[in-house]
Every structure is written in C-alpha cells, then in structure tokens.
C-alpha cells in the first residue's frame, strides 16, 4: 500500500525523551528559589511544550514582569545541571533508526530552545536521523502553526504528507492550526483526555505502539 505519511514531525520532551518529571521538578525548584508559591505537578505538566518564557507566564500569570527572567535563569540552572542524564523513552533510539531506515523523513518541533535541543540531539546520538528542526526561540511557540509550516516549506512537502506526533494538547493544536494530521501519545506530560478532543488519528500508549502503527502504514 502507498505510504500514508512521508514526514513525521516529533515533539521532543514527553514524546521522545522522558523529561516531563525533570521539567516539573525544575520549575518547582526555581519557584522555591525565588520564594514564589510552588505550583502543583498537574499545573506544571499542562504548560510543558510551550516555549519557556510563555510557559512560565501561563503558569504564573500574576508574577511581576521583572521576575520572569530570574525564574527562567533558576529553571535553567536546575534543568541544565542534569539534562545529560535524562533518558529516552523505551524503544525510541531503535525506533527512530528503524523509521528512518524505512524511508520516513523525520523532523522535530519543540518548545525547547535551539541550544537545548542541540544538547539533547548530541546526548541522545539521534542527530543524524532528523532532516529539520524548529524550536520555540526560532519562531512562534506552539500552538501557533509556524513550526510545522516552516518545516514543510524547508523540506518542500505538503500538509497531507505530514503527521505531527506529540504528548500535549499544544502539539495537537499546533498540528490542527497547520492543517496537518496529528497522533497523540499518553506516556508524556498530558492526560489522554487532553489529547482526544483535538481529533488525533490515533492516541497510543508507548513508543513501540507508535512505531508499529507507522510501519503498518508504509
């Protein structure tokens, strides 16, 4: 059968890398450092996927404007101190290689900074498999469609050829806003009910399920 999708656009945190807990912990420690009331885990998980500044402003909208740069600095202090230790989800390293070998074009659209993604690509040794990446400090943050649209333009592909794969409602909305199909995963930051409302083509429970679902459509 003809390949259903040519381009797979992956989110990074919570989709390929098991970093949601580390992100939550870093946000909470940063707030504690500044004496700000520490938000709960659920609230922190809901803003994962957005660009860092936007995420913190969404999580803590009443914070004085001058406190956000300090909070960003403390977050980065806690996150970057341990980011080399954050693992990929089970099956991701082999699965990405297999999908690449099967002829899919792979890309990343992430709320990480470019510097952060570069570090993660190097640590994970997955850099060679991705043809394009977009980060929140390069263009509009999710759920704006710019990341997807710029990747499509760069790779000279059409919307119907692409699938966005992510663990948050921000990923699903970005894809919908770009007119691109989306696939949700339940093992990351958001709950399944956060994903189902955005008409994904599937919602799957492991990266192995994602790989199998994709290869069945090759």
Q: How far apart are CA 150 and CA 34, in angstroms?
A: 37
Interacting residues of 144 by C-beta distance below 8 A, sequence separation 6+: 174, 177
**67 counts as catalytic:** no
* Sign, Cα dihedral of 179, 55, 51, 12: negative
Contact in structure between 135 and 114 (CB atoms under 8 Å): yes
Give long-range contacts, CB 8 A cutoff, 24+ apart: 75-82: 75/26, 75/27, 75/30, 77/30, 78/25, 78/26, 78/29, 78/30, 79/22, 79/23, 79/26, 80/116, 82/22
**153 counts as catalytic:** no
- What Rg do the C-alpha atoms of the chain give, in angstroms? 17
Q: Which of 11, 83, 181, 194 is catalytic?
A: 11
Q: Which of 13, 83, 167, 194 is catalytic?
A: 13
Q: What are phi and psi of 198, to 5 degrees?
A: -115, 25
- Positions annotated as catalytic residues are 11, 13
């Amino acid at each position: 059968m003809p390949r259903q999708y040519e381009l797979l656009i992956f989110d990074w945190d919570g989709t390929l890398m098991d970093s949601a807990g580390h992100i939550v912990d870093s946000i909470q420690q940063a707030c504690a450092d500044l004496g700000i009331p520490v938000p709960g885990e659920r609230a922190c998980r809901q803003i994962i996927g957005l660009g860092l500044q936007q995420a913190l402003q969404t999580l803590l909208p009443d914070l004085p404007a001058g406190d956000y740069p300090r909070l960003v600095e403390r977050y980065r202090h806690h996150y970057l101190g341990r980011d080399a230790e954050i693992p990929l989800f089970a099956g991701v390293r082999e699965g990405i290689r297999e999908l690449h070998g099967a002829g899919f074009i792979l890309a990343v659209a992430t709320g990480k900074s470019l510097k952060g993604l570069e570090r993660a690509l190097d640590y994970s040794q997955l850099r060679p498999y991705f043809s394009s990446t977009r980060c929140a400090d390069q263009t509009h943050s999710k759920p704006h469609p710019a990341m997807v649209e710029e990747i499509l333009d760069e790779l000279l592909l059409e919307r119907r050829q692409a699938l966005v794969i992510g663990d948050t409602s921000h990923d699903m909305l970005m894809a919908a806003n770009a007119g691109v199909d989306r696939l949700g995963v339940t093992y990351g930051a958001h709950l399944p009910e956060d994903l189902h409302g955005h008409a994904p083509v599937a919602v799957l429970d492991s990266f192995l399920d994602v790989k199998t679902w994709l290869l069945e459509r090759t």
